Amino acid sequence: MPNRWLSVEQIAQHLGVSKDTVYTWISTREMPAHKVGRLWKFQIPEVDTWVKAGGAAETAQKHGKA
């Protein structure tokens, strides 16, 4: 099924991180996520592009922090 929307749990599993890490990345690192009602949903191509661009890197700067 192309371009299927994934849940927080599914994208965390895809990336091999915890759900808490996903929520942190949404709020501090501009992880590509879409709010559908009360739920966050993700597209794998968007998230993979963000990761490849360094969005999930340990050295990524948090916005609003010096």
Residue 16 Cα to chain centre, angstroms: 12
Is the CB of residue 32 less than 8 Å from the CB of residue 50? yes
- pLDDT tens column, 38-64: 999 999 999 999 999 999 887 655 554
The fraction of the chain above a pLDDT of 70, given in percent, is: 85
Beta bridge partners of 42: 6
The fraction of the chain above a pLDDT of 90, given in percent, is: 76
Distance, in Å, from the CA atom of 66 to the CA atom of 53, rounded to the nearest integer, reads 21
Number of Cβ within a 10 Å radius of residue 3: 8
Q: What is residue 61's DSSP assignment?
A: P
Strands of 34-36's sheet in order across: 5-6, 39-43, 34-36
